[in-house]
Amino acid sequence: MGNETNQGRVVRSWVKITQDINECQEELRCGKNATCTNTEGSFRCTCNIGYYADGYICTECYTIFDFEDHDLSNWTLNGTAFNNQPTYGDNLSGRKHKFESNHKGDWWIGTYENRSSPSEPFGGQQGDGPQGSMTSPSFQITGKLLTFLIGSGCDKSFPNIRAELIIGGEVVRNKTTKACDEAMKEESWNVTDYAGKNAQLRLVDNSSEEWGHINFDHLQACHKLISDMDS
C-alpha cells in the first residue's frame, strides 16, 4: 500500500509491489559445486567447470550407461550371450546359491541370467554356455576417469570375460576380473589421454566355461581421478 499527495489531499492506492528475492544470499543455495546467479523472480544454478548436472545437483561424475531404460536397441549385439539383457532385479538371490550381484538401480547386465522383465521367473538363468558381445552407441569422453561395476569371470574363463573401451575402432582399455565372484566391484579406466574423443564400450563373453559370464553396470564419467578425489 502506498501514500501519495495529490493537489493538497492525500489519496491512498493499493500498489502491487514486486520485489525480487536474491536467493543466492542463502548459503549453498545451489550446492557446493555450482554457482548461483540471481535473476528477477528466480535464480539460476550453473555447474562449476568440471562438474556435471545430475538432477538438481552438480556432481563429479555422471552416468553414461546404467541400463535403467532397459532398452538395448542402440547397442550392437553379436552372438547369443546378451540376448536376454538387461537383467531385472536381484535375480541371483532367486537361486539356491544366495549370491549378490551388487547392481545399481533395477537393471544390469548379467550373461548368466535370463530375466529380462519383472514378469519372468525370479532366478531364471541361461547359464554359462552362450557367448557373444554387446557394443554401445558412441559417447564422448568428457572426464578424466571412467568408472564401472564389473563382476564374474574366473580362472578358466579369464581373459575371455572382459569389458573394453574402443576408440577409433581400437581397443584402448580393457578390464578382466578373474574375480570368481558374482558381486560386481567398482573398477576404472584413466582416460585423461582421450578427453573429447568419441568412444564405445564393448562387453565380451567369449567363454562357456564355469564362471564364463560377465556382470556389468553403471558406467560413469568423472571429473577427477581417484587420486584427486577429496583433494
Point out which residues bind Ca ion (CB under 5 A): 20, 38, 43, 66-67, 104-105, 107-108, 128, 205, 212-213, 217
DSSP secondary structure code for residue 125 in this structure: B
- Residues 133 and 202: their CA atoms lie apart, in Å, by 7
Q: Which is nearer to Ca ion, 135 or 225 (CB)?
A: 135
DSSP secondary structure code for residue 113 in this structure: B
Q: Which is nearer to Ca ion, 20 or 228 (CB)?
A: 20
Residue 7: count other Cβ atoms within 10 Å of its Cβ. Answer: 5
Q: Which is nearer to Ca ion, 37 or 48 (CB)?
A: 37
Shortest CB 73 distance to Ca ion, Å: 17
- Residues 88 and 67: their CA atoms lie apart, in Å, by 10
Q: Which is nearer to Ca ion, 184 or 194 (CB)?
A: 184
Shortest CB 8 distance to Ca ion, Å: 40
DSSP secondary structure code for residue 90 in this structure: S
Phi, psi dihedrals of residue 176, rounded to the nearest 5°:
-110, 160
Q: Which is nearer to Ca ion, 104 or 178 (CB)?
A: 104
- Residues 216 and 202: their CA atoms lie apart, in Å, by 11
- Residues 227 and 231: their CA atoms lie apart, in Å, by 8
Shortest CB 66 distance to Ca ion, Å: 4
Shortest CB 104 distance to Ca ion, Å: 5
Shortest CB 9 distance to Ca ion, Å: 38
